[in-house]
Chains A and B, each alone.
Chain A
C-alpha cells in the first residue's frame, strides 16, 4: 500500500517535471533557431497541462474516496493487529471510523481557515482534526438490533472493572498533563504579573483541550460493553487503548502545543516557535492515526504461521 502510494507520487512528479523540462528545452531551441520549434513548445505546454490535470484528478479522487470513508488501509492495518476475522473486523471498523472523522475534521478545518491565510489554515486544520478525532469516540454501546431489545441495551453486560489506567500510555498522559500544568501556571503567572503579554484566551484553550481529552479518555475506558468472547474482548480492549492513546491523546497534545505557541506569541518568540515546531512534528509523526508504519510488517496471521 505504502509502496504503491510512493510509486504513484513518484510517477506524478516525473509526469509533471518531464514535460516542464521538455517545454523549457524546446522553447530554448525555438529561440535559438528563430522560432522553428515553436509548435514543439506548444506541444510541451499541452503535455504539461494534461499532466497537471491528471494530477489534480488523482488528488480529487483520493480526497473524495477519503471523504466517503473508503479506507482499504484500515483492513490492512487491522490484519497486522488481529489474528481472528472478528478481531480484524472490529479493529478495521474502528480504524475506518476514526480516520474518517479525522479526515473530515481536518479538511473542514483547512478549508474553513482558507480565508484567514496560511497560518489560519494550519491552525484551524489542527483544530478540525482534533475535533474530528474526539468526536469519533463519542459513540456509546449500541442497543442489540437483532434481539429487538431496544432501547434497553445489551442483554448481558460485562462486569469487569475497567479504568483509564488500564489503557493509557504513561508517556502520553505525562505530556498531556504537562501541557495542562504549564497552561495553568501561565495563567497564574499572568494574573500576578510574572509574564508579559500573554494571550490568555489561547492558554485557556489549552486547559479546555486537556480537560476535554481526559474526560473523553475516561469515558472511553469505562464505556459499557456486553459480555464478549475472549477474542472480541481482547480486540475491544485494543481499540479502547488505541482510542485513548492515538485517537485522543496524540491530537490533544498536538493542539495544546499549537495553542501554547499562539498564547506565547507576544511573550516569547523562541518559546512560541518551539511550541509550534513541536506541534507540527507531532502532527507529522502521528498523521493518519500514526499506525501506517504497521503496513510495512506482514499480517499477523502470516507471522503466526511462520512462527
Chain B
C-alpha cells in the first residue's frame, strides 16, 4: 500500500506518544476531534435504522430480480424454456424457395410480447420471407408477416422461406442458431432484445438418415442425410435445400 504523509507502511505511528488503549471506544476523543471526524466520515445511523435500510434494499433487489425473471423488465419469452418441434424442409409452392417449417416459439413470460424479427445463422442461404401462424389454431391459420403479438402463454409457428445463394460450393459453417427479436408492444423498441433458442435448427450431431438415390424428396428433416449407394451426404440445410430444389451441387 502506498503510504502518504506520516503513514509508515500503511499504519499510523506517533512514537512520542504513550500507547493508547486497544479499543477506541474506551478512550473517548475530545469534542473538537469528534466534530472533525463527523465531518470527514458521516456518523452511522443506529443499528435499527441500518437494518431497516438494508432490508429495504434487499427487498427491492429481490423484487427487481423476480420481475426480471418473469419478463416485466426485459422481454424474457423463454424464461423457463422454449419448445422446438421437429422442423422440416419442404419445397415452397413457387418452386424457387424451400420452407423451413415447424419451428414453434412460446411466450412463457407473464406479459404480452411482440416478435419483430427472426434471425438464422445459415451461411449460403438467403432468408426472403418470415411468416407465422397461431400454433394452437385459435385464430386465423393464414400465414402472416411479422411482427407477431403474443399473449402470455401463447405459441406461434414460424415459417422461414429461404433460397440457396450458391449450390456449387456448399459452405459448412456454424449452422442453425435461431434468434428472435422480442419487445414490448407498448414500450420503446430499444427495450427489446434478441434471444437465441436453445436448440439449433440443424441437428448436426444426429445420425444421418438414409435416403434412396432414385427418389426425389419433397421434404427433409433437419438432420444429416446420407444417400444410399453413394458418398453423398447432406451435412447442412444448404445442401439439403439444393437437393430439394433439384440444383446440381
Residues of A bordering B, CB below 8 Å: 64, 67-70, 75, 78-90, 92-94, 96-97, 100, 103-105, 107-109, 111-116, 124, 128, 139, 141-147, 154, 166-170, 225-226, 228-239, 241-242, 245, 299-302, 304-305
Contacts and interface: CB of A to CB of B under 8 A. Distances in A.
Contacts of B51: 64, 67-69
Q: Across the A-B interface, give the 6 residue pairs with the lowest CB-CB distance, nearest first.
A: A112-B61, A85-B27, A108-B61, A88-B24, A112-B65, A301-B19
A104 B30 CA distance: 32
A231 B24 contact: no
A116 B50 CA distance: 28
B34 to A, nearest CB: 8
Nearest to A201: B193
B22 interface: yes
Contacts of A143: 39
A65 B27 CA distance: 24
Contacts of A235: 12
B28 interface: yes
A86 B29 contact: yes
Interface size band for B: 35 or more
A237 B7 contact: yes
Given A69-B50, A100-B54, A154-B39, 5 more contacts: A69-B47, A85-B20, A93-B43, A144-B39, A169-B2
Contacts of B44: 69, 93, 96-97, 100
B65 A84 contact: no
A231 B69 CA distance: 51
A229 B12 CA distance: 14
B50 A100 contact: yes
Interface in B137-195: none
B11 interface: yes
A146 B19 contact: no
A112 B54 contact: no
Given A84-B12, A85-B27, A90 B37 contact: yes
B230 interface: no
Contact of B35 (A79, A81, A146): A146
B14 interface: yes
B17 to A, nearest CB: 7
Nearest to A225: B40
Contacts of A115: 65-66, 68-69
A248 B222 CA distance: 52
Contacts of A139: 41-42
A33 B89 CA distance: 67
B177 to A, nearest CB: 10
25 contacts: A68-B48, A75-B25, A83-B11, A86-B29, A86-B30, A94-B41, A104-B53, A104-B58, A108-B61, A111-B62, A113-B65, A115-B66, A141-B40, A145-B38, A146-B31, A167-B2, A225-B39, A228-B36, A231-B14, A234-B7, A236-B40, A237-B5, A238-B11, A302-B19, A302-B22
Contacts of B12: 81-84, 87, 231, 234-235, 238, 300
A171 to B, nearest CB: 10
Contacts of B50: 67-69, 100
A236 B62 CA distance: 36
A83 B14 contact: yes
Nearest to A143: B39
A169 B19 contact: no
B54 to A, nearest CB: 4
B229 interface: no
B232 interface: no
Interface string B56-67: 011011101110
A141 B65 contact: no
A52 B110 CA distance: 37
A168 to B, nearest CB: 7
B195 to A, nearest CB: 13
A222 to B, nearest CB: 14
Contacts of A70: 47
Contacts of B43: 93
B3 interface: yes
A68 B65 contact: no
Given A75-B24, A85-B27, A238 B65 contact: no
Contacts of A302: 19, 22
Contact of A232 (B10, B13, B33): B33
A305 B4 contact: no
A84 B57 contact: no
A113 B19 CA distance: 48
